[in-house]
């Protein structure tokens, strides 16, 4: 599965990409995460990218494309990839097309996350990331609680940090840049027949479910019934399971019809089965 998650900052692409990667084993490739890692390591790329990131602008296309080209050459992407935050403008989308054509790995789908602007601002201001495991939380809408409050890397509570660019001024610029540069990608992918839009508001689990349905991963019975497409599946699946369990015994009987041993074994089995069928009433009596 080779997919692109498209959406404004704060639309939940990162959270859903993480979940999708866990569920499918396909790597999440987040250009934002790769750039932040480069900044933290102080590499040449990081130094060049930092100013644009701090101001909420897009990092130079050549830098991002070089980074993506390298990442897509890694062996784990043979099984597919989930692009999160890339492409972000038409130049990047065209370059991705060319690169994937070279690799003979065309995209399967582009999922667009639809969220209201007011909701985006609320989400970004509450967003926190664990410094150890990189899990994303929202202290306003989905704080880490219960077992989820423990970091799987350290075994201690998550060390939540706020991203440097999640401040009011930068957020406004990032949203403006999204409208100007990234939104045109919706029409770009629509014209290629790849676009699938989902409502990305509401509970995180509900969005995960919608994303799964959009990608044809695990249609819920209710969703399938609504569409009518998978309505035939449940009746076919349900009788198939018990039939499979019964089949070996039935086949065994069929395979050995001639020898006299079979009736003898069957008789033994029947005899052996006798007490077993009598046990449950005894247990029931005992409980009373």
Catalytic residue annotation:
13, 88, 127, 163, 174
Residue 149 CB, nearest approach to ligand ADP (Å): 23
163-192: contacts with ligand ADP (CB under 6 A):
165, 174
Nearer of residues 47 and 243 to ligand ADP, judged by Cβ: 47
Q: How far is CA 247 from CA 251, 252, 258, 261, in A?
A: 6, 8, 19, 20
Asked whether position 56 contacts ligand ADP by CB under 6 A, the answer is yes
Residue 191 CB, nearest approach to ligand ADP (Å): 21
203-262: contacts with ligand ADP (CB under 6 A):
none
Asked whether position 133 contacts ligand ADP by CB under 6 A, the answer is no
State the helix-helix crossing angle for 168-177 and 44-55, rounded to 10 degrees. Answer: 100
Give the residue, chosen from 15, 19, 32, 207, that forms a contact with ligand ADP under the rule CB under 6 A: 32
Give the residue, chosen from 16, 28, 31, 208, that forms a contact with ligand ADP under the rule CB under 6 A: 31
Instruction: Name the 3-class secondary structure at 141.
Output: coil
Nearer of residues 45 and 213 to ligand ADP, judged by Cβ: 45
- Residue 109 pairs in a beta bridge with 3
Strands 136-138 and 81-84: unpaired
Asked whether position 52 contacts ligand ADP by CB under 6 A, the answer is yes
**3-state secondary structure string across 24-76:** HCCCEEEHHHHHHHHHHHCCHHHHHHHHHHHHCCCCCHHHHHHHHHHHHCCHH
- Residue 259 DSSP code: S
Asked whether position 85 contacts ligand ADP by CB under 6 A, the answer is yes
For residue 182, count other CB atoms closer than 10 A to its CB: 22
Q: Which stretch binds ligand ADP (CB under 6 A): 30-38, 141-149, 227-235, 269-277?
A: 30-38
How far apart CA 25 and CA 131 sit, in angstroms, is 22
Residues lying near ligand ADP in the complex (CB under 6 A): 9-10, 31-32, 35, 52-53, 56-59, 64, 85-86, 88, 92, 165, 174
């Amino acid at each position: 599965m080779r997919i692109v998650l498209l959406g404004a900052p704060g639309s939940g692409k990162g959270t859903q990409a993480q979940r999708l990667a866990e569920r499918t084993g396909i790597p999440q490739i987040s250009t934002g995460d790769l750039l932040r890692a480069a900044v933290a390591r102080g590499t040449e790329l990081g130094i060049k990218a930092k100013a644009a990131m701090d101001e909420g602008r897009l990092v130079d296309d050549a830098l991002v494309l070089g980074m993506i080209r390298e990442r897509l050459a890694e062996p784990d992407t043979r099984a597919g990839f989930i692009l999160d935050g890339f492409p972000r403008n038409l130049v990047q989308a065209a370059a991705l097309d060319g690169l994937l054509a070279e690799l003979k790995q065309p995209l399967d789908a582009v999922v667009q996350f639809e969220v209201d602007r007011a909701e985006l601002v609320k989400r970004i201001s509450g967003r926190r990331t664990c410094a150890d495991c990189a899990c994303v939380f929202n202290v306003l809408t989905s704080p880490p609680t219960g077992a989820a409050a423990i970091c799987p890397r350290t075994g201690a509570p998550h060390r939540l940090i706020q991203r440097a660019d999640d401040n009011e001024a930068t957020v406004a610029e990032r949203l403006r840049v999204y409208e100007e540069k990234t939104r045109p990608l919706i029409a770009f992918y629509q014209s290629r027949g790849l676009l699938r839009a989902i409502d990305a508001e509401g509970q995180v689990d509900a969005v995960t479910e919608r994303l799964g349905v959009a990608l044809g991963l695990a249609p819920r019975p209710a969703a399938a019934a609504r569409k009518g497409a998978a309505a035939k599946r449940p009746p076919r699946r349900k009788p198939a399971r018990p039939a499979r369990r019964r089949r070996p015994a039935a086949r065994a009987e069929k395979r050995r019809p001639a020898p006299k041993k079979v009736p003898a074994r069957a008789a033994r089995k029947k005899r052996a089965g006798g007490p077993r069928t009598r046990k449950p009433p005894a247990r029931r009596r005992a409980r009373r």
